Amino acid sequence: MVTEVIAALKPRSGGCYVDGTLGGGGHAAAILAASSPSGWLYGCDRDGAAVEAARRTLAQFAGRFELRHDNFANLADWIEPDSVDGVLLDLGVSSPQLDVSERGFSFQQEGPLDMRMDTRQSLTAGQLVNTNSVEQLAQIFWEFGGEPNARRFARAIVNRRTERPFETTRDLATLLERLAPQRGKKTHPATKAFQALRLAVNDELGSLTNGLEAALKVLRRGGRLAVITFHSLEDRIVKNFGRTRARDYTFTGGVDVPELREPRAPELKLVTRKGIKPSQAELMENPRSRSAQLRVVEKT
Ligand SMILES: C[S@@+](CC[C@H](N)C(=O)[O-])C[C@H]1O[C@@H](n2cnc3c(N)ncnc32)[C@H](O)[C@@H]1O
């Protein structure tokens, strides 16, 4: 959604921008090109390989950016508050992460049960699968994947691992395929469980909540935050963040009734009321973008 992101952030020469999810650097390059000749970009990714890939993509803009191997939840630790004109968070996994089997994100390719975006972190998907209790695994599959067979999957995993721990993606996927055969269904039986493990290993929703907060801190008034989400749990967090911070009041007691409202200045305004979906042309070119949604807010 490069065109939509550029239309939302309106990069200009002399402006300062943040890409919190560099990936291969495609969006970052578009922001730097659109803010030529003197726009500045701070970029980070929690995946070291992505930072290196982005550094290569951005070589032509040398002298106009600073990149870090870091989680976007920490943006406010290294970027001045109220200093940037636009922040982009393009969530989820990148194609290289999915396509490199050694990263262990894909159930279609044999690889270690890893799924860490940041390989400096110690927790892997293998550790979760081989040490969590039935309750813990069932909760992960249900909460982060909406997997209807959450308990069955969790029980079968804990049973199987008493004989032999799970080491590879295909080892786990084969068990799930046996428990819930695909039989003409569109999605593969391991899809939701793998997504859930990935979200848990990387604490993706926790990072998102903290990242939105950090982005709001570093933006100057009038600066914009654009977030691309890939599934409903992420989108709900972004939508609620926007709605809550756009209100001109807070309330106590957890129930929004007029008597309990305290007036205050809104922290932002919604630029998009509904999520923007990818264009037909983008869907044709990149089918993985089918569940993407872009939301944009502006700091007030
Ligand atoms: C969909 S890709 C981004 C693609 C990128 N916009 C491009 O143009 O190539 C998502 C990237 O976000 C990174 N990521 C996900 N969560 C992150 C977080 N909390 N902090 C930093 N990077 C994160 C992933 O490692 C991955 O490289």
Q: Which long-range contacts (CB under 8 A, 24 or more apart) does 67-71 make?
A: 67/22, 67/42, 67/43, 68/42, 68/43, 68/44, 69/44, 69/45, 69/118, 70/44, 70/45, 70/46, 71/44, 71/46, 71/118, 71/207, 71/211
Distance (Å) from CA 172 to ligand 1 centroid: 25
The whole-number pLDDT of residue 289 equals: 85
Query: Considering the entire predicted model, what is its pTM?
Result: 0.96
pLDDT in tens, 238-290: 999 999 999 999 988 888 999 899 999 999 999 999 999 999 999 999 888 88
Whether 26 is in the pocket of ligand 1, judged by its Cβ within 6 Å, is yes
Nearest CA to ligand 1 atom 24: 93
226: its two tokens: 């654009």
Position 254 scores a pLDDT of: 83
Separation CA 106–CA 98 (nearest Å): 6
Q: How confident is the model over 79-132, as pLDDT tens digits? A: 999 999 999 999 999 999 999 999 999 999 999 999 999 999 999 999 999 999
Q: Mean pLDDT throughout 15-37?
A: 98
Amino acid 4: pLDDT: 96
pLDDT, tens digit (0-9, with 9 covering 90-100), for 201-232: 999 999 999 999 999 999 999 999 999 999 99
Instruction: Please name the residues in contact with 65: beta carbons below 8 A apart, sequence gap of 6 or more.
Output: 28, 32, 40, 41, 42, 43, 58
Map tokens 């980070």 to a residue.
Answer: 44
pLDDT, tens digit, for every residue of 125-166? 999 999 999 999 999 999 999 999 999 999 999 999 999 999
CA dihedral 220, 33, 37, 226 (to 10 degrees): 0
Pocket lining: 86 vs ligand 1, CB cutoff 6 Å: no
pLDDT at 208: 98
pLDDT at 27: 98
pLDDT band at 190 (very low <50, low <70, confident <90, very high): very high
Assess whether the C-beta atom of 92 lies below 6 angstroms from ligand 1.
yes
Atom 5 (ligand 1): residue with closest C-alpha?
23
How much of the chain exceeds pLDDT 70, in percent? 100
Does 17 score more than 90 pLDDT?
yes
| Cα 22 to middle of ligand 1, angstroms | 6
Taking only the tens place, the pLDDT of each residue in 28-73 is 999 999 999 999 999 999 999 999 999 999 999 999 999 999 999 9
Give, in order, the Cα–Cα distances in Å from 251 to each of 4, 37, 243, 257, 266: 34, 46, 14, 8, 13
* For residue 185, pLDDT beyond 90: no
Residue of minimum CA distance from atom 25 in ligand 1: 47
Substitution site in 117, 198, 231 for ligand 1 pocket (most atoms within 8 Å of beta carbon): 117
Q: How far is the CA of 126 from the centre of ligand 1 (A)?
A: 22
Q: How far apart are CA 284 and CA 62, in angstroms?
A: 33
Q: Is the CB of 158 under 6 A from ligand 1?
A: no
